[in-house]
């Protein structure tokens, strides 16, 4: 199958494919980062971005990767004792970052393909004194989506506990209801369901999170949300932003507005559905393939496939057919692979990938 859409065969779960029209937005001359022109650009971004986070709070934009914003959430949103909900490598990264910032961390670890239940969270908060809970909305390494709303209701029953959420693989592809679900800090990045090149990351804080942040000493400077807020109030960014990605973000937010969030989220659900359907059908035909995530926990943006046989070789076989997907992550590298069906991909493109995957699985099993 041929396609004229560059990136139509690129299904890595981040960085995701970027449409050529969006890439071309980056080829514009530099502008000063403290200029009127930049403030106009940022004004559009600052007005639009919160809808993707489901918040009326500001969303700050910074140059850098999401790991930096995870650290920002920890340094500015937690005090001493962190309860980390771990359902994959990024949940574990959140926990390690907290430890690296001198927080005492307790982990609740879900089995592979599961999330930590709201009941387990409630129980832990009942029996331990924590001031923050870290959670990952869509865990990119296992393809599970957590019920953040349920977490939010549990956390709301405890005074002075903040809910810090990694929404890296959800913002732009799945509804993120920051205000409605009681999230205190939500972070994301450009190179996932927003379908932009990497280089920008985002963070939003509830009023009470911001009130806590100002009381915390030694937050540093670069990842300090209080400083980000000061610049946001002036319509600027704290540091020199990745200007090409800002141009691209501006254009992409306009395109997302034209598509409509409801339609965009439905498209992601349909892409995930196409993958789930194909796996059931392939399994029925005896192909050695399954889905890691429990049925009720499958993310609309990324699927982690379990492979009977050499998953690493399967990724290479697909590459030979012109399709790029993600290898399994960490301990799951040998037995899983990941399809990022997010951003600007279409159901048709996903089906083309699945066709190629079927052939590649046949080659693997032959």
| Residue numbers at the binding site for a second copy (CB under 8 A) | 6-7, 10, 12, 14-18, 20, 23-24, 26-35, 62-68, 70-71, 75, 93, 96-97, 100-102, 189, 191, 197-199, 217-224, 238-245, 324, 326-327
Q: How far is the CB of 233 from a second copy (least distance, A)?
A: 18
| C-beta of 70 vs 205, nearer to a second copy | 70
Closest CB 75 distance from a second copy, rounded Å: 8
CB of 223 to a second copy, least distance (A): 7
Nearer to a second copy, 93 or 137 (CB): 93
Choice between 247 and 278, CB closer to a second copy = 247
In the complex with a second copy, which residue's Cβ is closer, 222 or 255?
Answer: 222
In eight-state DSSP terms, residue 351 is H
Nearer to a second copy, 192 or 267 (CB): 192
Cis peptide bond N-terminal to 195, omega within 30: no
Which two tokens mark 62?
Answer: 């910074």
Place of tokens 């965009």: 264
Rounded distance between C-alpha atoms, residue 123 and residue 154, angstroms: 10
Question: Least CB distance from residue 18 to a second copy, whole Å?
Answer: 6
Give whichever of 68 and 88 is closer to a second copy, judged by the CB atom.
Answer: 68
**CA separation (Å) from 188 to 171, 176, 185, 202, 262?**
7, 11, 10, 5, 20
Q: Which is nearer to a second copy, 63 or 87 (CB)?
A: 63
Helices (H), 234-295: 243-259, 261-284
For residue 148, give every residue at least 6 positions away whose Cβ sits within 8 Å of its Cβ, in sequence order, or none: 135, 137, 163, 165, 177, 181, 183
Least separation, in Å, of the C-beta of 309 and a second copy?
Answer: 21
Cα-trace Rg, the chain: 20
Kindly report the number of other CB atoms within 10 A of residue 215's CB atom: 7
By beta-carbon proximity to a second copy, the closer residue of 20 and 149 is 20
Helices (H), 134-241: 148-156, 178-181, 207-213, 225-233
CA distance 214 to 212: 6
Cα gap 254→81, rounded to integer Å: 41
Smallest distance from a second copy to CB 243, Å: 5
Tokens 């930049």, located at residue: 38
Q: How far is the CB of 315 from a second copy (least distance, A)?
A: 10
| CA–CA separation, 184 and 337 (whole Å) | 32
Structure-token pair, residue 51: 């809808």
119: exposed, middle or buried (Cβ count in 10 Å: 0-12, 13-18, 19+): exposed
Residue 4 CB, nearest approach to a second copy (Å): 13
């Amino acid at each position: 199958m041929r396609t004229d859409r560059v990136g139509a065969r690129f299904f890595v779960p981040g960085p995701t494919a970027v449409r050529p029209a969006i890439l071309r937005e980056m080829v514009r001359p530099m502008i000063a980062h403290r200029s009127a022109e930049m403030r106009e650009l940022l004004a559009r971004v600052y007005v639009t971005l919160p809808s993707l986070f489901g918040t009326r709070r500001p969303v700050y934009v910074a140059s850098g990767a999401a790991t930096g914003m995870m650290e920002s959430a920890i340094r500015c949103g937690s005090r001493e004792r962190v309860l980390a909900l771990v359902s994959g490598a990024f949940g574990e990264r959140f926990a390690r970052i907290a430890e690296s910032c001198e927080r005492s961390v307790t982990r609740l670890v879900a089995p592979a393909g599961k999330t930590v239940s709201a009941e387990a969270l409630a129980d832990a908060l009942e029996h331990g004194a924590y001031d923050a809970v870290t959670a990952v909305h869509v865990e990119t390494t296992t393809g599970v989506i957590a019920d953040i709303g349920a977490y939010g209701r549990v956390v709301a029953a405890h005074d002075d506990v903040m809910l810090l959420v990694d929404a890296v693989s959800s913002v732009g592809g799945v509804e993120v209801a920051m205000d409605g679900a009681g999230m205190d800090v939500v972070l994301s990045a450009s190179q996932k369901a927003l379908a932009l090149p990497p280089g920008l990351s985002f963070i939003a804080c509830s009023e009470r999170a911001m009130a806590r942040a100002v009381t915390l000493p030694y937050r540093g400077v670069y990842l300090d949300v209080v400083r980000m807020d000061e610049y946001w109030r002036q319509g600027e960014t704290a540091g020199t932003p990745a200007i090409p990605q800002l141009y691209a973000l501006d254009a992409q937010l306009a395109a997302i507005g034209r598509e409509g969030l409801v339609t965009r989220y439905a498209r992601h659900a349909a892409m995930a559905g196409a993958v789930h359907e194909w796996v059931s059908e392939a399994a029925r035909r005896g192909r050695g393939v399954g889905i890691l995530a429990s049925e009720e926990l499958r993310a609309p943006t990324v699927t982690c496939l379990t492979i009977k046989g050499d998953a690493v070789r399967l990724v290479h076989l697909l590459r030979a057919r012109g399709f790029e997907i993600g290898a399994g992550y960490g301990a799951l590298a040998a037995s899983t692979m990941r399809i990022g069906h997010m951003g600007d991909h279409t159901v048709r493109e996903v089906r083309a990938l699945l066709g190629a995957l079927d052939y590649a699985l046949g080659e693997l099993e032959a």
